Amino acid sequence: MRTPFLMLAACCVAQFAMAQHDDSLTIRRFSNEVLDHSTAYENLRVLTKTIGGRLAGSPQMVKAEKWGEAALKAAGADKVYTQECKVPHWVRGEKEQARIISNRRDFVPPLNILALGNSVGTGPKGVTAPVLEIHSFEELEQKKDQVKGKIVFYNYPFNKKFVKTFYSYGDAVRFRGAGPSRASKYGAVAVIVRSMSHSTDNHPHTGSTRYNDSFPKIAAVAIGLQDADRLSKRIANDPSAKVFLRTTCQMLPDTIGHNVIGELKGSEFPDEYITVGGHLDSWDVCEGAHDDGAGCVQSIEILRAFKAAGIRPKRTLRVVLFANEENGVRGGAKYAELAKANNEKHLFALESDAGGFTPRGFIMEMKPEQRARIKSWLPLFLPYGLYDFDEPGGGVDITPLHNQLGTPMAELSPDSQRYFDYHHAVSDTFEAVNKRELELGAVGMGALVYLVDKYGL
């Protein structure tokens, strides 16, 4: 009894080892193609330097969609098309103004701020009010009687102790999201939020806020870290200090945007899909290089390099450049809606939206046995520096697909140390992206797509 079993086992092990050897050679071929001939960096340069910031509804977004179609065709997609969707149309208006007003009449430089996305303006005359500094929602509740007529200043610092910076972001971002309406509830006239960053510079970091319709909508801005510290000191030492704030942003009626899609047709199961994508929109104030030009050009690169390296997927590979992640996720919602309406079979979805830095692994949202299968491929990823497959999570744009169809999803998890230095700030430029780091992200993503396509999930 034992010998045949052992022989079978030995046979299986040998087959597994041989398969892994074949896979490692294929992945190496793909990696060599990307590292030697990638067009991702040049694509990113064109997107960021010739188009720039591209918020939903902006003329730049229209240009970016055209660019995306052209880039997907140039990469060798069998089919390139778009999916129309309604998108919110928020405009920043004139350059924001903020300064400390004081009886002391000393010279005080202006405060470096940016209106939060989707926020209302102060009106053309601005608001001037005393400032109430708040460090937690509990403190806000305790001081609710002091809020009326004030500008509430959420000065909650990014926690430096987390090694993975997305935990610091998750910890702090509630003040940007819910802070304005929670302050408005008690009569605040505007809100200033300390930027979600531990950068050493003074750039404010914008991002969406979400109003609660039960309370008046009030103006809301992000402030740079150095100026947050300066403001905090000033109001502590100068009882006469007020802040003047002026923003003219507004939400216009919805307009039209598009997901831009390129396909590489599957050789065996053309009606089964693997989605790989990033989001094409970015905040208006930056080039959107890490967020998320990187994810777009990496996804396009996978298609290009698969073809160049002679890797023909069994399932259809869909590269999706999603519309409107930043202030609506309408592109991701539309993609899931159409997938469901068309009864499409989606094997797997992968996003890159955490920066174009050296990859370290994937966060994943899927059944335990699917995660275990992916983790069994670890030896194939280690030569490329990907080792971290344990954390939950998935991309914002593919979450609707995951929720609607149950599609297993993953997101590239790059080194996170620098991400929030640039995130939603003017410093998110092409120059902040390193060519090889960007390319290695595409290598890691492509390897995962190749293995999922070959072995299923």
> Least distance from C-beta 31 to a copy of itself, angstroms?
7
Nearer to a copy of itself, 344 or 388 (CB): 388
d(Cα 374, Cα 452) in Å, to the nearest integer?
A: 8
Using the contact rule CB under 8 A, the part of the chain among 15-23, 29-37, 142-150, 203-211 near a copy of itself is: 29-37
Q: Does 35 bind a copy of itself (CB under 8 A)?
A: yes
Residue from 171, 337, 391, 437 binding a copy of itself (CB under 8 A): 437
Using alpha carbons, select from 189, 205, 207 the residue that is nearest to residue 132: 189
Q: Does 36 bind a copy of itself (CB under 8 A)?
A: yes
Nearer to a copy of itself, 218 or 447 (CB): 447
Nearer to a copy of itself, 377 or 384 (CB): 384
d(Cα 76, Cα 82) in Å, to the nearest integer?
A: 16
**Which of 65, 287, 301, 325 is the catalytic position?**
325
C-beta atoms surrounding 106 within 10 Å: 8
Q: Does 238 bind a copy of itself (CB under 8 A)?
A: no
d(Cα 271, Cα 322) in Å, to the nearest integer?
A: 21
Using alpha carbons, select from 374, 442, 440, 381 the residue that is nearest to residue 409: 374
Q: Does 200 bind a copy of itself (CB under 8 A)?
A: yes
Beta strands 242-246 and 345-351 are: unpaired
Using the contact rule CB under 8 A, the part of the chain among 3-11, 336-344, 383-391, 395-403 near a copy of itself is: 383-391
Residue from 161, 237, 343, 369 binding a copy of itself (CB under 8 A): 161
Residue from 16, 19, 22, 32 binding a copy of itself (CB under 8 A): 32
Q: Does 418 bind a copy of itself (CB under 8 A)?
A: yes
Contact 114, 156 (CB under 8 A): no
> Least distance from C-beta 322 to a copy of itself, angstroms?
27
The token pair at 68 is 């995306």
**Amino acid letter at 26?**
T
Residue from 39, 122, 165, 259 binding a copy of itself (CB under 8 A): 165
Nearer to a copy of itself, 163 or 341 (CB): 163
Contacts of 384 (CB under 8 A, 6+ apart): 27, 31, 359, 440, 443, 444, 447
The token pair at 431 is 């120059």
Beta bridge partners of 79: 263
> Least distance from C-beta 376 to a copy of itself, angstroms?
17
Size of the site for a copy of itself (CB under 8 A): 27
Contact 275, 130 (CB under 8 A): no
Using the contact rule CB under 8 A, the part of the chain among 148-156, 268-276, 377-385, 446-454 near a copy of itself is: 377-385
Residue from 358, 407, 427, 429 binding a copy of itself (CB under 8 A): 358
Q: Does 454 bind a copy of itself (CB under 8 A)?
A: no
Contacts of 274 (CB under 8 A, 6+ apart): 313, 315, 316, 317, 318, 346, 347, 348, 349, 350, 449, 452, 453
Using the contact rule CB under 8 A, the part of the chain among 156-164, 235-243, 276-284, 303-311 near a copy of itself is: 156-164
d(Cα 388, Cα 277) in Å, to the nearest integer?
A: 20
**Amino acid letter at 131?**
V
Q: Does 392 bind a copy of itself (CB under 8 A)?
A: no
425 vs 62, 105, 128, 223, CA distance in Å?
Answer: 22, 31, 25, 11
Report residue 293 CA to chain centroid gap: 10
Question: Is 325 a residue of the active site?
Answer: yes
> Least distance from C-beta 374 to a copy of itself, angstroms?
17
Using the contact rule CB under 8 A, the part of the chain among 35-43, 52-60, 176-184, 326-334 near a copy of itself is: 35-43
Residue from 99, 198, 307, 373 binding a copy of itself (CB under 8 A): 198
Q: Does 385 bind a copy of itself (CB under 8 A)?
A: yes
Beta bridge partners of 45: none
Q: Does 298 bind a copy of itself (CB under 8 A)?
A: no
Q: In what order do the strands lie in the sheet with 151-154?
A: 97-101, 242-246, 127-134, 151-154, 190-194, 219-223, 113-115
**Sign, Cα dihedral of 351, 357, 359, 362:** negative
d(Cα 263, Cα 321) in Å, to the nearest integer?
A: 12
> Least distance from C-beta 297 to a copy of itself, angstroms?
15
Q: Does 62 bind a copy of itself (CB under 8 A)?
A: no
Q: Does 379 bind a copy of itself (CB under 8 A)?
A: no
Residues known to be catalytic = 325
Could you list the residues that contact a copy of itself (CB under 8 A)? 31-32, 35-36, 41, 160-161, 163, 165, 198, 200, 358, 360, 383-385, 387-388, 415, 417-418, 421, 434-437, 440
